[in-house]
Amino acid sequence: MQVIGILAFVVALLLSVMVHEFGHYITAKKFNMKVTEFFLGFGKKLWSFTKGETEFGLKAIPAGGYCRIEGMTPQDQMPAGEESRAFFTASSGKKLIVLGAGSFAHFVIGFILIFAIFAGVGYTALLSQIEQVSPNSAAAQAGFQKGDEIVAVDGKKVKNWYLDSRLIGQSQGAEMKFTVKREGEEVTLTARPQFIEDENRYVLGVVTKVGTKRESFLPALSSSARTTGTLIKESVKSLFTLPSKVPQLVRQTFMGEERDPNGLVGIVGAARVSGDAVSSERLNENERLTTFILIVASLNIFVGIFNLLPLLPLDGGHMAVAIADEFRALFARIRKKPRPAGIDVNVMTPITMGVFGVLAILTVILLVADIINPVSFNF
C-alpha cells in the first residue's frame, strides 16, 4: 500500500505540472504568442507528437516540465513575419496573465481537490446523531433516545455539531429547545443543561457519533473557499519563515537531529508521507483517501505561492520585470518621453543563476534529509 501511495503521489505531481504548463500554454495561445514545445520532464526525449506549431511529449527525467514560448527576450530570433508573436513584444498585462496562469492553475487544482473532499469523499467529523444518553442526565430527563439526530438547537439549524454544540456549554443552565429527528419524524424536546464541576462546564448528557460527513454543493463551495484561503495564508507564512528553518534542516540532515514535522519537507519526503498515509492502519479507508488528497492539494497551493516569489527564474520574477517595465513607462510618460525599451532579463543572468544555485542546494539538502532522516507524521 505504501508503494501505491508513493506512485499515486508521483502521478498526481506530474498531472499538476502538466496543468501548470497548460495554464501558460492556453493563455499564450489566446494572445497569439508562438508556442513551439510542451513537454513533461527534462533530458532525453522519449516520445512526442506535433499538433499545429507545437510539439507535445515526454522526456526521460520526470522532474517537472516546460512550455516553450518563443521570443522571451529581445535576443531570441523569431521566424520572418512572426515578430509580433514574440512574448517580449506583448503588453505587460498579457505577460502577467501568461506568467501567472501557472500558479493560478495550482490554486484551481487545490480548490477542486478540497471541494472533492467536502462534497464527495467526505471527512471525519462529530455528527449530531446520538450514540449514548447518560443516565440521570438532562438529556435522559428530557426524553432523548439513542439514534435521535439533533437537527436544530433553539431554532438554529445544526450545520456543524462540533461548533453548534458549544451553545450547550454557553447556556448557563437555561432551558433550551432541541429539534430531533426520530424514525423519520421531527420531535421537539426541552432540557436544562447540567453543570458538571469536574469538567467546569454545562452538558446535556449525550455522546454523539463520529463518522464521515459530506456537504451539499453550495456549503461545500463555501467550506472549500475558506479552507483554500487558510492554506494560502499558511503557505505565505511558511515562505516567510523558510530562511529561519534552513539551519534547522542542516542540523537534521548532517547532525542527526530529529526531523520536525512542521519543518521543511522535499518532494521525496512528501511522497513518503503520502505512502505512509495511504498504508496507515490507524486511519480508515476514507481517512486515508482524504489525507492523500489534502497532501496533494496543500502541495499545489504551496507551489503556486512559491512560484509567485519575485525571483528569477521563477514566474514571479518575470512578473516583477513586467511590472517594473510598466513603472518605467509611467515615469517616462510623466516626463513626456517615449516609452523605454523593455527590460532584458538576460542582463540579470548572474542574479538568476545565484537564485537557481541556492534553490538547487536547498533541493539537494532536502533530498538527502528525506532519504537518511525522513520526517514522520505517525499516521
Which residues are known to be catalytic?
21
Beta-bridge partner residues of 42: 61
**What are 223's three cell numbers?**
467550506
Q: Distance between CA atoms of 35 and 54, rounded to whole angstroms?
A: 6
Phi and psi angles of residue 155, each rounded to the nearest 5 degrees, phi first:
85, -5
Q: Distance between CA atoms of 112 and 108, rounded to whole angstroms?
A: 6
- Residue 351 in 3-state DSSP? helix
Burial (Cβ within 10 Å: 0-12, 13-18, ≥19) of residue 151: middle
Phi-psi group of 218: left, alpha or beta (phi > 0 → left; psi -120 to 50 → alpha; rest → beta): alpha
H or E stretch at 258: none
Q: What is the DSSP string of 283-336?
A: S-HHHHHHHHHHHHHHHHHHHHHHTTSS-TTSHHHHHHHHHHHHHHHHHHHHTT
